[in-house]
């Protein structure tokens, strides 16, 4: 009888016998989600070089099992979001279920259920703003978003982030406002609205007052039928360089007033009519002919492409007069990922470039080179990384490339067509002396007044350095650690120095790891374990922290060896 029931179930006939049968509901929908999930897991495990680097296999499969249990009651739309959330747990920007706007061409029935709000958002330093809208919604253009339906804007962003695959927080931030926050079905799914086609926004007036605005999705989204208006349309200032040729893969311009060549790379793919090697030849010919003093490379909006960077790197290395910290500048940001992260890492390792902007969207060591495939029944398009790129060396566990000079961008900068990054680069000569001065001041303060003098001096100058955007980890740790290691008056002083900068830089993986080592060496094993675990919270792929924790665990069960 059991065998007969199974046979009938697979034939779709069991509904006559068991009204609530799972198989019947799947058949009625036309999608076998169980088989899709099984195929997904197996394909990922075969393809990805280290699928469980950031999530344990046990935890991942538990999530798969919970998703399977939801199949009888869940709609196909909800299952789609379940797959997205599942893959986001892998924490890899190249392994994902593509956003719905790109994903569903092979499943017209599912695609028809998705509509999008004709709004473009951007998260500035001062909040979430509407930077573009369809013409009929110009009343909210340029307004700060306080609430998205039932959720405060920051809460909505936090909920939406569960569905965004990323190497780090910047990947999520960059992609969330581009592809997820205007998805009507997803906003309904997280509880921001009751309907997938309408939502009430709460926005801020110029005087700080609030007003509500009801908006509906537009079936013309993604087509030429929508006439878009931009937040910058009212600016009297000229279009900044970074927004001039966004549709061009790569281009450059000589800036005579600054005697600088500005190079922007928007996509790292060779253009057939203008190969990257030939393009770089022209770029360096222009730089040489004008005796340019600066080269500015802008990849803040480049999501990746191919590894075509060698002609650029070789051209820089062949010009030592350009390969200087005050002459070679690299602009990075929340969209700098994949192949443009590779370029960033190469420039960090082999040149003297000074980095400006925001943290990148990828790790210096990253999983990439994605393979695309579709699930057999739902036809959802999946991407999976298939190679590991160890561009930054085996001991680099950083989550992103960090700028030497942080430059925040405000909504008013965008509204007025200002580019604060370029302004900070052009003004660099006025404050670059602060970097060597920091080491000189701090080392003198320690030699004269010990750690108390060190801390007092730091407190007195910190505000100045933060105001100019200096990366404090570079100053306090990368520039000072070796000196403190050689010049500390005692081992206790050196460890106290590490403890101090760990409090100042609680998210620095490198500082946390060094401090953990010294806690262990000094016999404080519990604190060492806590710090190694913190390293793994910051980066679950920190293999050295895992190794150290394993050794400590062994010593708790075996006699402690002499060290």
Mean pLDDT, to the nearest integer, of 406-411?
Answer: 96
Banded pLDDT at 105 (limits 50, 70, 90): confident
Does pLDDT of 235 surpass 90?
no
| Radius of gyration (C-alpha) of the chain in whole angstroms | 27
- What pLDDT is attached to residue 5? 36
Average pLDDT, the chain: 93
Q: What pLDDT was estimated at residue 563?
A: 54
Which range, of 2-16, 48-62, 246-260, 500-514, averages the lowest pLDDT?
A: 2-16
Cα–Cα distances in Å, from 47 out to 40, 43, 370, 373, 384?
Answer: 11, 6, 9, 11, 7
Mean pLDDT of all residues in 429-458: 98
pLDDT at 233: 84
CA 11 to chain centre: 46
pLDDT digits (tens, 9 = 90+) for 177-225: 999 999 999 999 999 999 999 999 999 999 999 999 999 999 999 888 9
Angle at 267 between CA 262 and CA 270, to 5 degrees: 95
Give the model's pLDDT for residue 557.
86
Q: What is the pLDDT of residue 1?
A: 41
pLDDT tens-digit series, residues 261-286: 999 999 999 999 999 999 999 999 99
Per-residue b or e along 359-376, where b marks 16 or more CB atoms closer than 10 Å to that residue's CB: bbbbbbbbbbbbeeeebe
CA distance 89 to 246: 32
Which domains can be identified in the chain, with CATH numbers? 22-106+368-385 (3.30.750.44), 119-230 (2.30.42.10), 241-362+400-426 (3.90.226.10), 431-557 (1.25.40.10)
Residue 562 confidence (pLDDT): 61
pLDDT per position as a tens digit, 285-342 = 999 999 999 999 999 999 999 999 999 999 999 999 999 999 999 999 999 999 999 9
pLDDT, residue 23, reads 37
Instruction: Look at residue 15 in the predicted model and tell me its pLDDT.
Output: 37
pLDDT at residue 558, as a whole number: 86
Confidence (pLDDT) at 477: 98
* For residue 108, pLDDT beyond 60: yes
Kind and range of the H or E run holding 498: helix 491-504
pLDDT 10s digits, 1-35: 444 333 334 333 333 333 334 333 443 356 899 99
Least confident of 384-388, 546-550, 556-560: 556-560
pLDDT for position 560? 64
Q: What is the pLDDT of residues 70-95, one digit of tens each?
A: 999 999 999 999 999 999 999 999 99
Instruction: Give the pLDDT mean for 128-142.
Output: 97
Give Dmax over CA atoms of the chain in angstroms.
Answer: 89
Q: Where does residue 453 rank: exposed (0-12), middle (13-18), buried (19+ CB within 10 A)? A: middle
Query: Does pLDDT of 66 surpass 80?
Result: yes
DSSP string, 247-298: TSSEEEEEETTTTEEEEEES-BS-BTTB-HHHHHHHHHHHHHHTT-SEEEEE
pLDDT at residue 21, rounded to an integer: 40
Of 515, 506, 512, 516, the closest CA to residue 552 belongs to 516
Percent of the chain with pLDDT over 70: 94
**CA 32/CA 376 separation, integer angstroms:** 9
Are 372 and 327 within 8 A, CB to CB? no
- Whether the pLDDT of residue 367 is over 60: the answer is yes
CA neighbor of 498 nearest in space, from 474, 525, 518: 518
* 219 three-state secondary structure: coil
pLDDT at 466 over 90: yes
Whole-number Å distance between alpha carbons of 241 and 239: 7
Indicate the pTM of the whole model.
0.92
Per the listing, tokens 């913190």 go with: 534
pLDDT at position 8 is 36
pLDDT in tens, 497-547: 999 999 999 999 999 999 999 999 999 999 999 999 999 999 999 999 999
Per-residue model confidence (pLDDT) at position 262: 98
């Amino acid at each position: 009888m059991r065998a007969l029931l199974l046979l009938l179930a697979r034939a779709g006939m069991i509904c006559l016998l068991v009204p609530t049968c799972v198989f019947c509901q799947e058949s009625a929908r036309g999608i076998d989600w169980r088989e899709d999930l099984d195929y997904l897991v197996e394909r990922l495990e075969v393809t990805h070089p280290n699928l469980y680097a950031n999530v344990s296999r046990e935890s991942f499969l538990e999530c798969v099992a919970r998703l399977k249990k939801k199949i009888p009651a869940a709609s196909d739309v909800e299952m789609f979001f379940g797959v997205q959330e599942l893959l986001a747990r892998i924490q890899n920007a190249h392994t994902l279920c593509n956003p719905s706007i790109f994903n569903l061409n092979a499943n017209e029935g599912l695609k028809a259920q998705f509509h999008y709000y004709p709004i473009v958002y951007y998260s500035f330093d001062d909040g979430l703003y509407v930077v573009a809208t369809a013409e009929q919604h110009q009343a909210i253009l340029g307004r700060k978003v306080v609430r998205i339906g039932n959720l405060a804007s920051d809460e909505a962003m936090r909920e939406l982030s569960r569905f965004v695959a990323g190497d780090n927080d910047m990947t999520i931030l960059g992609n969330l406002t581009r592809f997820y926050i205007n998805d009507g079905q997803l906003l309904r799914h997280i509880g921001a609205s009751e309907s997938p086609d309408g939502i009430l926004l709460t926005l801020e007036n110029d005087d700080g007052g609030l007003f509500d605005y009801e908006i509906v999705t537009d079936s013309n989204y993604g087509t030429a039928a929508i006439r878009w208006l931009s937040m910058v349309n009212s600016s009297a200032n000229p279009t900044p360089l970074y927004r001039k040729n966004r549709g061009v893969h790569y281009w450059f311009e000589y800036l005579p007033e600054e005697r600088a060549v500005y190079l922007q790379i928007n996509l790292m793919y060779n253009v057939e009519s203008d190969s990257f090697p030939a393009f770089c030849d022209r770029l360096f010919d222009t730089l040489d002919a004008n005796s340019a003093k600066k080269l500015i490379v802008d990849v803040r909006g480049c999501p990746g492409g191919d590894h075509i960077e060698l002609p650029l790197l070789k051209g820089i290395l062949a010009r030592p007069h350009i390969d200087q910290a005050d002459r070679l500048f690299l602009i990075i940001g929340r969209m700098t990922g994949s192949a443009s992260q590779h370029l960033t890492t190469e420039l960090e390792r082999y040149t003297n470039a000074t980095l400006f902007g925001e943290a990148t969207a990828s790790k210096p060591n990253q999983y990439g080179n994605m393979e695309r495939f579709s699930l057999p029944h739902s036809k959802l398009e999946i991407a999976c990384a298939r190679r590991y790129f160890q561009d930054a060396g085996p001991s680099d566990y950083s989550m992103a490339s960090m700028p030497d000079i942080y430059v925040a961008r405000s909504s008013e900068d965008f509204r007025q067509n200002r580019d604060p990054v370029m302004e900070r680069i052009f003004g660099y000569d006025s404050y670059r002396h602060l970097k060597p001065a920091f080491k000189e001041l701090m080392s003198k303060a320690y030699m004269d007044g010990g750690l108390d003098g060190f801390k007092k001096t730091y407190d007195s100058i910190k505000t100045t350095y933060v105001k100019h955007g200096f990366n404090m980890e570079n100053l306090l740790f990368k520039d000072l650690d070796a000196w403190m290691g050689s010049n500390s008056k005692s081992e206790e002083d050196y460890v106290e120095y590490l403890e101090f900068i760990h409090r100042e830089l609680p998210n620095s993986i490198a500082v946390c790891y060094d401090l953990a080592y010294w806690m262990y060496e000094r016999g404080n094993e519990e604190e060492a374990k806590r710090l190694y675990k913190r390293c793994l919270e910051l980066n679950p792929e920190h293999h050295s922290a895992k190794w150290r924790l394993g050794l400590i665990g062994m010593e708790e069960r075996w006699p402690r060896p002499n060290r």
